[in-house]
C-alpha cells in the first residue's frame, strides 16, 4: 500500500496541535462540567467504585485496586492523578461533602500526605450513592471509554448542584477555575426558590444562601462584595481565621489567644508557615505580648495557642496577626465550568440554570423509563387477569397443543388448526383469543398457585397500583410544574438526611488596623566569612568575641540598622543590601549566604571592597584595575536605591583590583604582581565619574598586573613574600617618574 504524505505548513500544524491539546486539557481534565460539577477523573473514580460495588455498607477495598481498575478501564493517564483524586474526595477539610469514605492515612489539614495506595482502603459514602449515582441506568447517556471496550457515563446524575456544594479548583491552558464550597442545606433552599421564581434577584438569593461555607470554618469578612461576585462569577473573598480568648483560671496561669479555625487557603503547609511567621513577629518584637506559641491541633480540630503577657492588648495582637500573617487571606473566585461543551464563566444564576436544565432532562428520561416499565407490567397484568377469567379455556388449549409454539399461536391469533381439544365446545371461544405476545408468554409461564383466590386479589391490587403509577408518571411528564414539585420533594429528602450546620461566619469585618512602630535605629556589626555567609551581630556580642570574629570573618563592618552595606566586586558591580534585610545571628550561627539577600553571584565575581553607606558619605573611593588604571569617584555617585549598579567601566579583559576609601590620606602606593611598588601623591589621581575607565597609574611590563593599592596612613607596613615593606619610607615619585619605582 502506497504511503500518503500530507504536506502542511509547520507553524499551522503546531498551532492546530497546540489548540487541540489545550481544548483537551480544558474540557477533559482540569475544568468541571456544569451539570454534575465533576472533572472526568473524579467522575470515573466514583463510577468505577460503584461498578466494584463499594457501597457504604460493604467492606472497604484497597485503594490500589480502585486506582488500577479505574486506570485500566476509564482513565489511562497514570495512577498518581487517580489516587490524588481519591484522596481529595475523602478529605473533609477540603470538600464541603466528602464523597469517599477513606480508611487509613488519607493526609491531614496540616499538609501531611496520604499513605501509599497499597496501605489505604476506601468505599463510597452513603451521600454519594444516594445523590450522585442513584438511577444511573435510567438517566444519563453512556459513551465508549478510551479504547471502546467499556461504556462510561457522560456525566453522573447528581441531584444537587455539586459545582456549588463541593466547589472546584483547576488550572488548564490559559484559564483556571476556583469555585468555593457551599452549605448543602442552603443550596437546596436556593434551588427550590429558583424553581419557583427563575427571575430571583441576586440579593434575594443571598438571603437563602448567604455565601460560601468552607469546611475549615473561619470568617468571610467582606459580605458587601458577595453580591457582585455572584453576579459576575469573579471576585475576591476575604477570609479570616477565628480566635477565642481563654482567661487564666488561676493567678499563675497566663491568658491565651486560641486560634480555633483557619482560612481555607491555609490548608496544608500554610499552617507551618503561619507558625513560623508568628515566631518571627515575636523575635522582631512586633508581638512583644506573646510569650509562647504551641500547636495543639488534633483530630478534633485546629487549636493554635498563643500565651500572653499580663494585660496584653488583645485587639492589637489580633490586628497584627491579620495584617502580618496568612490568618487573613484572599480566596480568588472564578466560577469557570464546561457548559454545553465549552468553557464559560458562570454567575450564580447561570450555575442554577445549567443544573436545573440537567435535572429536567434527567427527570424526563427517568420517568419515561419508569412509565414504560409500568406500561409493560400493565400489559402483562391485564393478560393474566383476563386469563384467570377464562382459565378453563386456557387449560383446554394447553392440553390440546402439541408444542409451545402451537399454544402461543392459539393464544395470540386464535389459531386452532393444530389444537386437538380433549373436550369439545371450546373451539369457538378459542378462535376469539387475541393476547399480545408478552401476555401470551406470561400466561404460559404462570404457575398454578396464581389461581388461588388470594393471589388473584393480589394481582388485581398490583394492577391498580400500576395504573396509579402510570397516571402519576404521565402527569409528571406532561406537566412541567408537577416535574418541578418532584425535583423539590427529592431535594427536601436529601436535605433532611444529609444537611449539616454552617461552619463559616459571614460578616462585614472591620479592617485590621495596625500602625507599625518605626524600628528603633541602633548600631550593629555586619560580618561575612570567606565562604560568603553573613549576619548581623549585636555590638556587645562582638566586643566579647572580637578576636574570634576577626579571625573567622573576611569583612567586619560596624553600621546602623537603617544603613546599607555596599559590596564592590571585581567585575565592576556595586551590590547594595539593606541592613534591615540581613538576619541577626548568634556567635555560633553560620549566617545567610550573601547570594540569597542580594544579586551578588559568587560564581562569577569576587568581593574586593565592602563598607557601609555612612562610612562612604562625603568621601572619595579610589579604584584601581589590574591593567593599571586608577581614578577617584565621589561617594555621592553611588547614592541610589537600585540593588545593583555599575561602579566603574572596564576595558575588555580587565578587572577591578582594589577599591579603597580615601579618608584624609595624601599618598598612594601601587603594588604589582612582580613586586614593584610605586608611591605618588593622591591628588595626582583625577576625580572622575563612576562610568569612566580612569587614567594610567603605572606603566606595567608585558604580562604584569596591578595587584594592590594602598593609601598611606600612620606607619603602614605590608608584607610582600614575607618581607616587611614600610610604605611611608618609599620615595614619592616625581611627575617625570624618575626614582619612583622600587622592586623587592
Pairing of strands 219-220, 505-506: parallel
Task: Give the distance between the most distant pair of CA atoms in the chain.
Answer: 157
Do the beta carbons of residue 459 and residue 451 sit within 8 Å? no
- Determine how many CB atoms are found less than 10 A away from the CB of residue 315: 11
- Determine how many CB atoms are found less than 10 A away from the CB of residue 244: 11
Centroid of chain to Cα 366: 37
Do the beta carbons of residue 527 and residue 556 sit within 8 Å? yes
| Residue at grid coordinates 438511577 | 135
Is 83 marked active-site?
Answer: no
| Residue at grid coordinates 477495598 | 61
If you ran DSSP here, which 8-state letter would residue 206 be given? H
Determine the Cα–Cα distance for residues 512 and 315; give it in Å rounded to an integer.
Answer: 9
Compute the 3-state secondary structure of the chain and give helix, strand, coil in percent, each to the nearest 5.
40, 25, 40
Determine the Cα–Cα distance for residues 670 and 678; give it in Å rounded to an integer.
Answer: 5
Dihedral angle computed from the Cα positions of residues 308, 285, 592 and 641, in that order, rounded to the nearest 10 degrees = 140
- Determine how many CB atoms are found less than 10 A away from the CB of residue 177: 24
- Identify the helix (H) or strand (E) that includes residue 635: none
Contacts of 81 (CB under 8 A, 6+ apart): 41, 75
Do the beta carbons of residue 75 and residue 101 sit within 8 Å? no
- Identify the helix (H) or strand (E) that includes residue 328: strand 328-334
Determine the Cα–Cα distance for residues 687 and 635; give it in Å rounded to an integer.
Answer: 11
Do the beta carbons of residue 710 and residue 625 sit within 8 Å? no
| Residue 575 burial class via C-beta count within 10 angstroms: exposed 0-12, middle 13-18, buried 19 and up | buried
Contacts of 502 (CB under 8 A, 6+ apart): 183, 186, 213
> 741: which strand partners?
678
Would you say the C-alpha torsion 312, 315, 321, 324 has a positive or negative sign?
A: negative
Determine the Cα–Cα distance for residues 222 and 240; give it in Å rounded to an integer.
Answer: 10
577, 581, 592, 638, 693 from 642: Cα distances, Å: 10, 15, 21, 10, 22
Contacts of 258 (CB under 8 A, 6+ apart): 243, 244, 245, 246, 303, 304, 305, 306
Determine the Cα–Cα distance for residues 326 and 270; give it in Å rounded to an integer.
Answer: 8
Nearest CA to 406 among 394, 393, 416, 395?
416
Instruction: Give me the catalytic one of 21, 47, 74, 119.
Output: 119
| Residue 342 burial class via C-beta count within 10 angstroms: exposed 0-12, middle 13-18, buried 19 and up | exposed
Q: Which phi and psi (to 5°) does residue 293 adopt?
A: -130, 135
> 176: which strand partners?
171
Determine the Cα–Cα distance for residues 402 and 13; give it in Å rounded to an integer.
Answer: 72
Contacts of 377 (CB under 8 A, 6+ apart): 466
Determine the Cα–Cα distance for residues 631 and 620; give it in Å rounded to an integer.
Answer: 10
Active-site residues, by number, are: 119
Amino acid at each position: 500500500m502506497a504511503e500518503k504524505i500530507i504536506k502542511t505548513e509547520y507553524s499551522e500544524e503546531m498551532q492546530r496541535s497546540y489548540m487541540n491539546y489545550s481544548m483537551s486539557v480544558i474540557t477533559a481534565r482540569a475544568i468541571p462540567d456544569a451539570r454534575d460539577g465533576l472533572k472526568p477523573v473524579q467522575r470515573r473514580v466514583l463510577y468505577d467504585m460503584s461498578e466494584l460495588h463499594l457501597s457504604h455498607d460493604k467492606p472497604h477495598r484497597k485503594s490500589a485496586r480502585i486506582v488500577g481498575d479505574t486506570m485500566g478501564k476509564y482513565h489511562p493517564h497514570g495512577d498518581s492523578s487517580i489516587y490524588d483524586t481519591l484522596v481529595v474526595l475523602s478529605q473533609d477539610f477540603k470538600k464541603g461533602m466528602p464523597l469517599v469514605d477513606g480508611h487509613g492515612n488519607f493526609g491531614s489539614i496540616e499538609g501531611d500526605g496520604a499513605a501509599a495506595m497499597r496501605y489505604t482502603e476506601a468505599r463510597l459514602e452513603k451521600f454519594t450513592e444516594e445523590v450522585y449515582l442513584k438511577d444511573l441506568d435510567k438517566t444519563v447517556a453512556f459513551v465508549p471509554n478510551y479504547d471502546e471496550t467499556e461504556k462510561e457515563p457522560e456525566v453522573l446524575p447528581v441531584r444537587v448542584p455539586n459545582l456549588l456544594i463541593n466547589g472546584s479548583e483547576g488550572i488548564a491552558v490559559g484559564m483556571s477555575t476556583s469555585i468555593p464550597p457551599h452549605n448543602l442545606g442552603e443550596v437546596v433552599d436556593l434551588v427550590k426558590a429558583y424553581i419557583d421564581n427563575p427571575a430571583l434577584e441576586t440579593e434575594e438569593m443571598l438571603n437563602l444562601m448567604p455565601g460560601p461555607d468552607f469546611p475549615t470554618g473561619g470568617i468571610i469578612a467582606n459580605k458587601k462584595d458577595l453580591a457582585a461576585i455572584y453576579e459576575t462569577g469573579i471576585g475576591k473573598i476575604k477570609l479570616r481565621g477565628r480566635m477565642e480568648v481563654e482567661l487564666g483560671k488561676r493567678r499563675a496561669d497566663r491568658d491565651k489567644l486560641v486560634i480555633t479555625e483557619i482560612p481555607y487557603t491555609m490548608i496544608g503547609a500554610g499552617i507551618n508557615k503561619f507558625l513560623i511567621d508568628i515566631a518571627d513577629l515575636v523575635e522582631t518584637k512586633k508581638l512583644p505580648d506573646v510569650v509562647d506559641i504551641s500547636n495543639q491541633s488534633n483530630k478534633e480540630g485546629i487549636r493554635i495557642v498563643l500565651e500572653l503577657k499580663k494585660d496584653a492588648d488583645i485587639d492589637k495582637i489580633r490586628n497584627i496577626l491579620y495584617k502580618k500573617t496568612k490568618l487573613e487571606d484572599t480566596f480568588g473566585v472564578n466560577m469557570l465550568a464546561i457548559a454545553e461543551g465549552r468553557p464559560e464563566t458562570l454567575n450564580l444564576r447561570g450555575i442554577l440554570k445549567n443544573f436545573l436544565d440537567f435535572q429536567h432532562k434527567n427527570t424526563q428520561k427517568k420517568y419515561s423509563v419508569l412509565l414504560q416499565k409500568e406500561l409493560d407490567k400493565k400489559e402483562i397484568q391485564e393478560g393474566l387477569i383476563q386469563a384467570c377469567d377464562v382459565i378453563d379455556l386456557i387449560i383446554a388449549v394447553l392440553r390440546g397443543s402439541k408444542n409451545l409454539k402451537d399454544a402461543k399461536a392459539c393464544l395470540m391469533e386464535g389459531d386452532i388448526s393444530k389444537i386437538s381439544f380433549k373436550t369439545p365446545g371450546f373451539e369457538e371461544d378459542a378462535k376469539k383469543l387475541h393476547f399480545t405476545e408478552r401476555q401470551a408468554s406470561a400466561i404460559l409461564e404462570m404457575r398454578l398457585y396464581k389461581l388461588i383466590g388470594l393471589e388473584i386479589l393480589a394481582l388485581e391490587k398490583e394492577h391498580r397500583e400500576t395504573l396509579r403509577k402510570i397516571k402519576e408518571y404521565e402527569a409528571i411528564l406532561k406537566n412541567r410544574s408537577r416535574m418541578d414539585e418532584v425535583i423539590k420533594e427529592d431535594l427536601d429528602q436529601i436535605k433532611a438526611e444529609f444537611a449539616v450546620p454552617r461552619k463559616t461566619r459571614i460578616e462585614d469585618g472591620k479592617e485590621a488596623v495596625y500602625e507599625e512602630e518605626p524600628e528603633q535605629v541602633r548600631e550593629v556589626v555586619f560580618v561575612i566569612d570567606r565562604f560568603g555567609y553573613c549576619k548581623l551581630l549585636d555590638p556587645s556580642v562582638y566586643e566579647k568575641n572580637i578576636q574570634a570574629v576577626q579571625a573567622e570573618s573576611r569583612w567586619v563592618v560596624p553600621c546602623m540598622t537603617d544603613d546599607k552595606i555596599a559590596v564592590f566586586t571585581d567585575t565592576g558591580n556595586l551590590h547594595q543590601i539593606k541592613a534591615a534585610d540581613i538576619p541577626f545571628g548568634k556567635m555560633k550561627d553560620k549566617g545567610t549566604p550573601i547570594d540569597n539577600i542580594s544579586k551578588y553571584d559568587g560564581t562569577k565575581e569576587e568581593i574586593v571592597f565592602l563598607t557601609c553607606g555612612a562610612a562612604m558619605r562625603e568621601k572619595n573611593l579610589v579604584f584601581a584595575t589590574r591593567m593599571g588604571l586608577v581614578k577617584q569617584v565621589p561617594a555621592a555617585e553611588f547614592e541610589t536605591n537600585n540593588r545593583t549598579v555599575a561602579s566603574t567601566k572596564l576595558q575588555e579583559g580587565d578587572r577591578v583590583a582594589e577599591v579603597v576609601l580615601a579618608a584624609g590620606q595624601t599618598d598612594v602606593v601601587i603594588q604589582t604582581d612582580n613586586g614593584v611598588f610605586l608611591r605618588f601623591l593622591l591628588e595626582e589621581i583625577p576625580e572622575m565619574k563612576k562610568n569612566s575607565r580612569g587614567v594610567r597609574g603605572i606603566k606595567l611590563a608585558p604580562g604584569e598586573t596591578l595587584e594592590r593599592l594602598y593609601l598611606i596612613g600612620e606607619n603602614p607596613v605590608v608584607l610582600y613574600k614575607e618581607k616587611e615593606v614600610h610604605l611611608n619610607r618609599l620615595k614619592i615619585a616625581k611627575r617625570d617618574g624618575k626614582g619612583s619605582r622600587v622592586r623587592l
